[in-house]
Every structure is written in structure tokens, then in C-alpha cells.
Chains A and B, each alone.
Chain A
Amino acid sequence: MKENKLKAKDFITIGIFTALVFVVEFAYMMLGFIHPYVILSYAVAIPVLCAIPMMLFYTKVEKFGMITIMSVLIAIIMFVTGMGWIGAPLIIAAGVIADLIAKKGNYKSFKSTVLSHGVFCIWVGANYIPLVVTADDYKQDMIKGGFSEDYCNTLFNAVNGKTIALILLCCFIFGVVGAFIGKAVVRKHFEKAGIV
């Protein structure tokens, strides 16, 4: 009996894993306050770290829409915590595409899961977009608003229109790398325990 409609149980699963991913992400984001270059490392570390809960999530997904809803939730949470709405369309778009890719592999094939996770991880890059779109304004604002000039220069040397493509690519690549690591971890711990 295969039903394609999402049920209450699926919504709860989505909620739990979104919370987990967000907690992991938030914990790492706290480190970004230390130095601007740590902010750059988000694009590498968050896809890899979040891959562990995400790969477990992928084993639970078998219907279209679950990854999309997750991306909508992430967009909402990002908005509420003050990351801005400029990245939201990109986050949701990444979610839909990731969902479509995973669906192509019927949510079972490892290859499409890996690709799908890579695309999904572009949401991490979406958080940089407010920095780029409004770069000049933002920099002026930041200096006027009390950020030190050093901090701003370092940040904007690292993040600008040229590097944003690189950052997004980085998210994708490390999303793929993370998927392999995450899969290994899931296999090591969860499959033995019979949770998957």
C-alpha cells in the first residue's frame, strides 16, 4: 500500500529533523562571532556537520514534499532569527530541486541522495546573500553602526559578488562530501541499531 500523501507522522519527522539540523547549525554559527574567517568556513563545516542528521532524515523520506517542507521551515527560522528574507527564495528553490532529484532516485538510490543533499546544502550559502546584494550599503551601515573597519574589510574581502558563486559551489561540494560521511556514520550507528 503506497500512498503519496503526507501524513501527520511525516510532518512530525520533518519537524524533528529540522530542529536537529538547526541546532547543529546554530551551534556552529556561534563560532562565527570569533573571527570573520570563521563565517567563511560555514560553507564547509555546516554542510558536513548537518549531513549526519540529514542522511538519517533521507532514510525516512519516501514521499515527495518532505524536503521541500523542510526548506520552507528553514527559511522561516532563518527569517525569524534575523538572517533576512533575501535568501529565502533560494533556500526554498534549493529544497524543491533537492526534492526532485531525490524523487528521481525514488528516495532510495544512494547516488541521487548524495546529489540531492549537495543541492540542499546551498541553503547555507543563501545566508551570505544579504551580504552581497547590499554590499556597499551594508558595509557603510556596519561601520556607522559600530563594527570596526578591520572587521568589515576582512569580511567583505572574503565575501563579495565574485566569491558568492564560489561559496555556493563550496556548499554543494561539501554537501556531497558530507553526504558520504553522513552515510558512513548512519551505517555505522543506526543501521546496526535497527533504527533505519
Chain B
Amino acid sequence: MRKFGLDPRTKLFMIFAISLIVMVNSSNPLQWGIRILVTVIPIILMMLEGKFAAAIRFAVLYAVAVLLQIFFLSSESSGMISALITGYCSIFAQFMPAMITACYAIRTTKINDFMSAMQKMHVPDSVSISLAVVMRFFPTIKEEYGYINDAMRMRGIAMGGGKVSKMVEYRLIPVMFSCVNIGEELSAAAVTRGLGAPIKRTSACELRLTAMDYITMAVFVLLTAAFFASKYIG
């Protein structure tokens, strides 16, 4: 049997619902409640799928941002420092839910699940393949950047001699070099395995929406509806 895991389509739906919520500022306790709830759910889901470290890191970060924002800062606070802290915290509290969910979806979705879900939703190949590559590529870029940073440090070019243009040149260009090369390899590998063949692709992973998926979706529909109802009606 498969391990516990939601269908990629459910995850996409979660991202969609949460993006709607994070775009609007919450101004009363109910809205804050919903906002916090939609952040907690992906964190719990992340733990259920065994990503404890990331889940705890997010939980702590989010808690700190929200607490700071609620207890220490208000519209009366002014001045450079508090504006800075407010800025940080509100942006964090504002966008963290979306980031956490996006991160949860990316970390727990295997590329083949993702592709098969995209195919079931009849998303054109052009978008689904490119998106899959984007998803797969963020960790790669990070890794490559780490290597390049190490190499630069070994040669004593820590910050590019203080010149911004050099800093960009010494980091970005090598990253682009390796990414282009990795891309060549990736497309060779993918084409060998039949990507882009003119027939309909079949998939080894059978996706089915389970009760858990429906429950999650229903919860998010309700939460989003409640949020907007209290925002614009009540």
C-alpha cells in the first residue's frame, strides 16, 4: 500500500485557496483564526508525510512572526526600527501560509505524481512539463549555488571585492553555466524515456482521490468561504 499522502490535485487546490486568503488582509479575530488555521493544516500534513524538520522550522518561524505582530506592533508604532520589524513580520505572517503550502506541495509531490495529475486535469504539455522542470530545478539551483560559493570562497573571492557587479558576475554566471548543462542532460534523459513522443503517455502511478482528499478540499472550501463572508458581508 502507499504511504499516507494527498493527491497532487488536492495540494494544488490548497495552494489556490490559500493564495486567495493571503491576498486579503485579515482585520478581525475570526479572520486571523482562519489564517492561522490554514497555516497549521499544511504544517500538520507535512509532519504526517515525515518532513519533521521542515515542518517544525516553519511552525516556529510563523509563530514568532504572528506573536510579534499581534503583541508588540500596532499602527501607532513608528520610526525606522519598528517599521522595519513590522514590515518583516507582516510580510512573513502575510505570505508564510502560501510559502508553507507551496513548500509542502513541492517537497511531498513526486514528479511522476505531478505529471500524472496534470495529465488528468488536461493541462497542456507545454505548461505541465515546464512547471515540472521549474519545480525540480529550485533545489538544483540551490545546490549548484552552494558549490559555486564554496569554490569562490576557496579562491578568496568572498564578496567579489565589494563591487556589486562583480558579485553578480561571479555568482550568477557560473550558476547559469551549470544550469544550462544540467538542462541539456535533463532533456536528453527525458527524451530517451519517451517524453515528447507523439502518443498519449501512460503513467505507472494510478492517482485516485480518496476520502481524505475530499475532506481536505471541503475544509478549505469552507474556510475560504467563511473568510470572505466575514470580510465582505459581516
Interface, chain A (partner B; CB < 8 A): 6-9, 11-16, 18-20, 22-24, 33-36, 49, 52-53, 56, 65, 69-70, 72-73, 76-77, 79-82, 84-85, 130, 138, 141-151, 185, 189-190, 193, 195
B75 near A15 with CB under 8 A, answer: no
Q: Given that A24-B172, A77-B134 are known contacts, is A11 also in contact with B129, CB under 8 Å in the complex? A: yes
**Shortest Cβ-Cβ A-B pairs, 10 listed:** A15-B133, A8-B196, A141-B25, A145-B25, A82-B98, A11-B129, A19-B137, A144-B27, A15-B130, A9-B187
Chain B contacts with A in 112-157, Cβ cutoff 8 A: 125-127, 129-134, 136-138, 141
Tell me which of B86, B137, B172, B179 contacts A147 (CB under 8 A). B86
User: Which of B44-52, B87-95, B206-214, B218-226 sits within the interface?
Assistant: B87-95
Interface residues on B, range: 35 or more
A73 near B131 with CB under 8 A, answer: yes
Neighbouring B residues of A53 by C-beta, 8 Å: 172, 176
B79 within 8 A of A: yes
Interface, chain B (partner A; CB < 8 A): 15, 19, 22-27, 69-70, 73-79, 82-84, 86-91, 93-95, 97-99, 102, 125-127, 129-134, 136-138, 141, 168-169, 172-173, 175-177, 179-180, 182-183, 186-187, 190-191, 195-196
A-B contact pairs, 28 of them (CB 8 A): A8-B187, A12-B129, A15-B130, A15-B132, A19-B134, A19-B138, A20-B141, A22-B134, A24-B172, A36-B87, A52-B168, A69-B127, A77-B134, A80-B15, A81-B95, A82-B94, A82-B98, A84-B23, A144-B75, A146-B70, A146-B86, A147-B86, A148-B73, A149-B76, A150-B79, A185-B173, A189-B173, A193-B177
Task: Decide if the interface of chain A is mainly helix, strand, loop or mixed.
Answer: helix
Residue of A nearest to B22 (CB): A82
Q: Nearest Cβ distance between residue A175 and chain B, in whole angstroms? A: 17
B83 near A151 with CB under 8 A, answer: yes
